[in-house]
Amino acid sequence: MTLLLALVIGCLYAAGIFLILRRNMVKVIFGLILLAHAANLLIFTVGRLTKGIPAFVPEGAGMLSGEFADPLPQALILTAIVIGFGLQAFTIVLFKRTWLTLGTEDLDLMKTTDEPPRE
- The residues of the shown chain that bind another protein, judged by CB under 8 A, are 20, 25, 28, 32, 35-36, 38-40, 42-43, 46-48, 72-73, 76, 79-80, 82-83, 86-98, 100-102, 107, 110, 112-114, 116-117
Give DSSP secondary structure letters for 36-93.
Answer: HHHHHHHHHHHT----S----PPTT-SS--S----HHHHHHHHHHHHHHHHHHHHHHH
Give whichever of 53 and 71 is closer to another protein, judged by the CB atom: 71
Nearest one of 51, 12, 53, 46 to 32, comparing CA atoms:
12
Q: Smallest gap, in angstroms, from Cβ of residue 58 to another protein?
A: 15
Q: Smallest gap, in angstroms, from Cβ of residue 75 to another protein?
A: 9
Q: Smallest gap, in angstroms, from Cβ of residue 91 to another protein?
A: 6
Give whichever of 47 and 69 is closer to another protein, judged by the CB atom: 47
Buried b / exposed e over 101-116, threshold 16 CB at 10 Å, is eeeebebeeeeeeeee
Give whichever of 66 and 116 is closer to another protein, judged by the CB atom: 116
Give whichever of 48 and 53 is closer to another protein, judged by the CB atom: 48
Q: Smallest gap, in angstroms, from Cβ of residue 114 to another protein?
A: 6
